[in-house]
Homo-oligomer: A and B are copies of this chain.
Protein backbone atom coordinates (compact mmCIF):
# COMPACT_ATOMS: atom_id res chain seq x y z
CA UNK A 1 0.00 0.00 0.00
CA UNK A 2 2.92 2.28 0.70
CA UNK A 3 4.31 1.29 -2.66
CA UNK A 4 1.60 2.96 -4.63
CA UNK A 5 4.32 5.31 -5.75
CA UNK A 6 5.98 2.44 -7.52
CA UNK A 7 3.39 2.25 -10.28
CA UNK A 8 3.38 6.01 -10.46
CA UNK A 9 7.01 6.27 -11.31
CA UNK A 10 6.60 4.33 -14.51
CA UNK A 11 3.71 6.43 -15.74
CA UNK A 12 4.18 8.78 -18.63
CA UNK A 13 3.50 12.37 -17.95
CA UNK A 14 -0.07 13.47 -18.45
CA UNK A 15 -0.65 15.59 -20.40
CA UNK A 16 2.42 14.88 -22.47
CA UNK A 17 5.39 17.20 -22.70
CA UNK A 18 4.28 17.85 -26.26
CA UNK A 19 1.24 19.60 -24.89
CA UNK A 20 3.31 21.90 -22.74
CA UNK A 21 5.61 22.70 -25.63
CA UNK A 22 2.64 24.06 -27.56
CA UNK A 23 2.41 27.80 -28.19
CA UNK A 24 0.42 29.25 -25.35
CA UNK A 25 -2.35 30.50 -27.57
CA UNK A 26 -3.07 27.03 -28.87
CA UNK A 27 -2.79 25.43 -25.45
CA UNK A 28 -5.26 27.94 -24.09
CA UNK A 29 -7.67 27.23 -26.91
CA UNK A 30 -7.65 23.57 -26.04
CA UNK A 31 -8.11 24.28 -22.36
CA UNK A 32 -10.98 26.63 -23.04
CA UNK A 33 -12.69 24.12 -25.29
CA UNK A 34 -12.30 21.42 -22.67
CA UNK A 35 -13.69 23.62 -19.93
CA UNK A 36 -16.70 24.43 -22.07
CA UNK A 37 -17.33 20.80 -22.83
CA UNK A 38 -16.91 19.58 -19.27
CA UNK A 39 -19.06 22.37 -17.93
CA UNK A 40 -21.85 21.40 -20.28
CA UNK A 41 -21.60 17.63 -20.03
CA UNK A 42 -21.01 14.86 -17.57
CA UNK A 43 -17.78 12.96 -17.78
CA UNK A 44 -19.30 10.23 -19.90
CA UNK A 45 -21.30 12.60 -22.07
CA UNK A 46 -18.35 14.79 -22.87
CA UNK A 47 -17.08 14.12 -26.36
CA UNK A 48 -13.62 14.46 -27.79
CA UNK A 49 -15.15 15.34 -31.13
CA UNK A 50 -16.69 18.54 -29.75
CA UNK A 51 -13.52 19.55 -27.97
CA UNK A 52 -11.21 19.19 -30.95
CA UNK A 53 -13.73 20.91 -33.16
CA UNK A 54 -14.01 23.92 -30.89
CA UNK A 55 -10.29 23.97 -30.22
CA UNK A 56 -9.55 23.67 -33.91
CA UNK A 57 -7.06 20.84 -33.55
CA UNK A 58 -6.91 17.52 -35.31
CA UNK A 59 -8.03 14.21 -33.87
CA UNK A 60 -4.51 12.88 -34.02
CA UNK A 61 -3.13 15.84 -32.11
CA UNK A 62 -5.52 15.23 -29.26
CA UNK A 63 -4.03 11.81 -28.71
CA UNK A 64 -0.58 13.25 -28.87
CA UNK A 65 -1.36 15.50 -25.93
CA UNK A 66 -3.61 13.25 -23.88
CA UNK A 67 -3.81 9.49 -23.66
CA UNK A 68 -7.58 9.71 -23.39
CA UNK A 69 -10.33 12.02 -22.29
CA UNK A 70 -9.80 11.15 -18.65
CA UNK A 71 -6.32 12.63 -18.82
CA UNK A 72 -7.70 15.86 -20.06
CA UNK A 73 -10.45 15.84 -17.47
CA UNK A 74 -7.89 15.35 -14.70
CA UNK A 75 -5.70 18.11 -16.03
CA UNK A 76 -8.56 20.56 -16.28
CA UNK A 77 -9.78 19.65 -12.85
CA UNK A 78 -6.36 20.22 -11.32
CA UNK A 79 -6.02 23.54 -13.06
CA UNK A 80 -9.41 24.52 -11.77
CA UNK A 81 -8.34 23.55 -8.26
CA UNK A 82 -5.28 25.76 -8.51
CA UNK A 83 -7.40 28.64 -9.66
CA UNK A 84 -9.79 28.12 -6.79
CA UNK A 85 -6.90 28.09 -4.37
CA UNK A 86 -6.24 31.73 -5.21
CA UNK A 87 -9.61 32.57 -3.74
CA UNK A 88 -9.26 30.32 -0.73
CA UNK A 89 -5.74 31.35 0.15
CA UNK A 90 -6.60 34.67 1.76
CA UNK A 91 -8.96 32.96 4.12
CA UNK A 92 -6.52 30.23 4.98
CA UNK A 93 -3.84 32.70 5.85
CA UNK A 94 -6.07 34.19 8.53
CA UNK A 95 -7.36 30.89 9.85
CA UNK A 96 -5.67 31.11 13.19
CA UNK A 97 -6.75 34.61 14.11
CA UNK A 98 -10.41 34.53 13.22
CA UNK A 99 -13.45 32.99 14.82
CA UNK A 100 -14.28 29.63 13.25
CA UNK A 101 -17.70 30.70 12.01
CA UNK A 102 -16.25 33.81 10.48
CA UNK A 103 -13.79 31.62 8.67
CA UNK A 104 -16.60 29.41 7.44
CA UNK A 105 -18.43 32.41 6.15
CA UNK A 106 -15.33 33.61 4.42
CA UNK A 107 -14.81 30.21 2.87
CA UNK A 108 -18.33 30.22 1.51
CA UNK A 109 -17.84 33.74 0.25
CA UNK A 110 -14.63 32.70 -1.45
CA UNK A 111 -16.48 29.87 -3.11
CA UNK A 112 -19.15 32.25 -4.36
CA UNK A 113 -16.61 34.69 -5.68
CA UNK A 114 -14.81 31.94 -7.50
CA UNK A 115 -18.11 30.81 -9.00
CA UNK A 116 -18.87 34.38 -9.96
CA UNK A 117 -15.53 34.96 -11.66
CA UNK A 118 -15.22 31.47 -13.17
CA UNK A 119 -18.70 30.06 -13.50
CA UNK A 120 -17.65 27.28 -15.85
CA UNK A 121 -14.87 26.08 -13.61
CA UNK A 122 -17.23 26.07 -10.65
CA UNK A 123 -19.87 24.23 -12.63
CA UNK A 124 -17.37 21.66 -13.75
CA UNK A 125 -16.15 21.13 -10.24
CA UNK A 126 -19.64 20.68 -8.91
CA UNK A 127 -20.45 18.27 -11.69
CA UNK A 128 -17.54 16.11 -10.69
CA UNK A 129 -18.92 15.68 -7.22
CA UNK A 130 -22.03 14.20 -8.79
CA UNK A 131 -20.14 11.65 -10.78
CA UNK A 132 -19.96 8.04 -9.86
CA UNK A 133 -17.54 7.19 -7.12
CA UNK A 134 -15.43 5.29 -9.62
CA UNK A 135 -15.09 8.33 -11.87
CA UNK A 136 -14.39 10.56 -8.90
CA UNK A 137 -11.68 8.28 -7.61
CA UNK A 138 -10.00 8.09 -10.95
CA UNK A 139 -10.06 11.78 -11.61
CA UNK A 140 -9.58 13.26 -8.18
CA UNK A 141 -7.23 10.55 -6.98
CA UNK A 142 -7.54 11.16 -3.27
CA UNK A 143 -8.01 14.88 -3.53
CA UNK A 144 -11.46 14.49 -2.04
CA UNK A 145 -9.91 13.20 1.15
CA UNK A 146 -7.77 16.28 1.33
CA UNK A 147 -10.83 18.48 1.24
CA UNK A 148 -12.39 16.62 4.09
CA UNK A 149 -9.14 16.77 6.03
CA UNK A 150 -9.06 20.52 5.56
CA UNK A 151 -12.52 20.96 7.02
CA UNK A 152 -11.83 18.51 9.82
CA UNK A 153 -8.76 20.47 10.81
CA UNK A 154 -10.77 23.66 10.75
CA UNK A 155 -13.37 22.18 13.06
CA UNK A 156 -10.78 20.61 15.35
CA UNK A 157 -9.10 23.99 15.77
CA UNK A 158 -12.54 25.47 16.34
CA UNK A 159 -13.08 23.15 19.25
CA UNK A 160 -9.67 23.99 20.66
CA UNK A 161 -10.38 27.68 20.30
CA UNK A 162 -13.68 27.20 22.11
CA UNK A 163 -15.80 28.23 19.12
CA UNK A 164 -17.17 24.86 18.16
CA UNK A 165 -19.26 22.56 20.30
CA UNK A 166 -16.92 19.71 21.25
CA UNK A 167 -19.89 17.35 21.21
CA UNK A 168 -20.14 17.37 17.43
CA UNK A 169 -18.67 14.57 15.35
CA UNK A 170 -15.99 16.23 13.32
CA UNK A 171 -16.01 13.75 10.48
CA UNK A 172 -19.71 14.12 9.95
CA UNK A 173 -19.63 17.85 10.36
CA UNK A 174 -16.93 18.20 7.75
CA UNK A 175 -18.95 16.20 5.27
CA UNK A 176 -21.96 18.31 6.00
CA UNK A 177 -19.89 21.40 5.50
CA UNK A 178 -18.62 20.28 2.11
CA UNK A 179 -22.03 19.15 0.94
CA UNK A 180 -23.53 22.48 1.88
CA UNK A 181 -20.75 24.32 0.16
CA UNK A 182 -21.51 22.47 -3.03
CA UNK A 183 -25.21 23.17 -2.65
CA UNK A 184 -24.53 26.84 -2.12
CA UNK A 185 -22.40 27.12 -5.23
CA UNK A 186 -24.86 25.12 -7.27
CA UNK A 187 -27.67 27.32 -6.11
CA UNK A 188 -25.66 30.41 -6.96
CA UNK A 189 -24.86 29.15 -10.43
CA UNK A 190 -28.48 28.26 -11.12
CA UNK A 191 -29.71 31.63 -9.96
CA UNK A 192 -27.05 33.63 -11.71
CA UNK A 193 -27.96 31.90 -14.92
CA UNK A 194 -31.59 32.89 -14.60
CA UNK A 195 -30.25 36.23 -13.39
CA UNK A 196 -32.97 37.30 -11.02
CA UNK A 197 -31.95 39.10 -7.86
CA UNK A 198 -28.32 38.59 -8.69
CA UNK A 199 -27.31 41.99 -9.91
CA UNK A 200 -25.02 42.21 -6.97
CA UNK A 201 -23.23 39.30 -5.46
CA UNK A 202 -23.72 40.89 -2.05
CA UNK A 203 -27.41 40.20 -2.18
CA UNK A 204 -26.70 36.56 -2.70
CA UNK A 205 -24.28 36.45 0.19
CA UNK A 206 -27.14 37.33 2.48
CA UNK A 207 -28.82 34.12 1.43
CA UNK A 208 -25.65 32.31 2.33
CA UNK A 209 -25.73 33.94 5.74
CA UNK A 210 -29.09 32.36 6.36
CA UNK A 211 -27.69 28.97 5.58
CA UNK A 212 -24.69 29.54 7.78
CA UNK A 213 -26.95 30.69 10.54
CA UNK A 214 -28.54 27.26 10.46
CA UNK A 215 -25.18 25.56 10.37
CA UNK A 216 -24.05 27.61 13.33
CA UNK A 217 -27.12 27.61 15.53
CA UNK A 218 -29.12 24.67 14.31
CA UNK A 219 -32.81 24.58 13.66
CA UNK A 220 -33.95 24.27 17.23
CA UNK A 221 -35.76 27.11 18.89
CA UNK A 222 -33.56 28.84 21.43
CA UNK A 223 -35.02 28.63 24.94
CA UNK A 224 -33.54 31.86 26.12
CA UNK A 225 -35.50 33.77 23.55
Main secondary structure of the interface of A (DSSP, over half): helix
Pairwise interchain contact B168-A213, C-beta atoms closer than 8 A: yes
Binary interface encoding of chain A residues 156-184 relative to chain B, with 1 for a CB under 8 A from any of its CBs, else 0:
00110011111111001101100110010
A contacts with B, residue count (CB < 8 A): 51
- Those 7 A-B pairs whose CB atoms lie nearest each other, nearest first: A218-B218, A130-B130, A169-B210, A217-B218, A165-B221, A7-B56, A216-B220
Structural contact, B164 and A187, CB atoms closer than 8 A: no
CB pair A176 B180 closer than 8 Å: yes
Q: Does A222 contact B (CB under 8 A)?
A: yes
Distance between A30 CB and nearest chain B CB, rounded to angstroms: 11
Considering only residues 205-225 of chain A, those with a C-beta below 8 Å from chain B are 207, 210-211, 213-222, 224
CB of B172 within 8 A of CB of A207, answer: yes
Q: When chains A and B are docked, how far (Å) is the Cα of A220 from the Cα of B216?
A: 5
Q: Determine if A165 and B210 form an interchain contact, defined as CB atoms under 8 angstroms apart.
A: no
